[in-house]
Amino acid sequence: MSGGAAVLERIGAEINASEFDRLVVAAMEQMFPARPLRDPRRDLSTSEIAVLQQGGFDLKPQPLDSAHPLIRSAAAYSALLASSLSVSQAAARLLVKDSRIRQRLGERTLYGIKLKAVWRLPRFQFIDAGMVPGIDMVLPHLDPSLHPLSVLGWFTSPNPDLVYGEEEQPVTPLDWLRAGYPAEPGSELAANLAELG
């Protein structure tokens, strides 16, 4: 068993290695421009380059290696896609028909990523016995143009407006909902996120 297949099995991803490879390719196609990244100095005047370099900016093109932000984002996006559920897997988890999942995707009460003609539903919105409580009330308020990594980041990052417990430590929107708190504060924050975007 390859390292990738072992990780997929360990996290419970219901996807085989060839499907994972297809998702990686699709993620790379979405993340990278059709043409190679240009040297940023080609678009700047000599004086602009001098000012930026004086300010400490490194204008040399970054190699597309494992440290490059686009490569790291593409890897994170691939992992998100690979660990997501298909429409039929989500339907089985929620004990509904595939058509109901597609309907909810259209209503935006389920979050999905469409790659070509195939939907993937990220696992963060699910629990063992269904969905995270109240998440269906928050999802419609998120700007549909947000990148899936931004959506995941918002749901999994502590928010200073969501606190509970004696110490009132900020919690993530996902933890807020999982703890059974009302969805309205998360819905308001999601709507505000759209306004800031």
Per-residue pLDDT reduced to its tens digit, 48-65: 888 888 888 877 776 666
Overall average pLDDT of the 53-82 stretch: 77
Q: Using CA atoms, how far apart are residues 18 and 180, in angstroms rounded to an integer? A: 38
Which tens digit of pLDDT belongs to each residue from 83-102? 899 999 999 999 999 999 99
Least confident of 20-29, 84-93, 116-125: 20-29
Q: In angstroms, how far apart are the furthest CA atoms of the chain?
A: 63
- The full set of domain ranges for the chain reads 3-81, 84-196
Q: Using CA atoms, how far apart are residues 62 and 60, in angstroms rounded to an integer? A: 6
Q: Which residues pair with 114 in a beta bridge?
A: 119
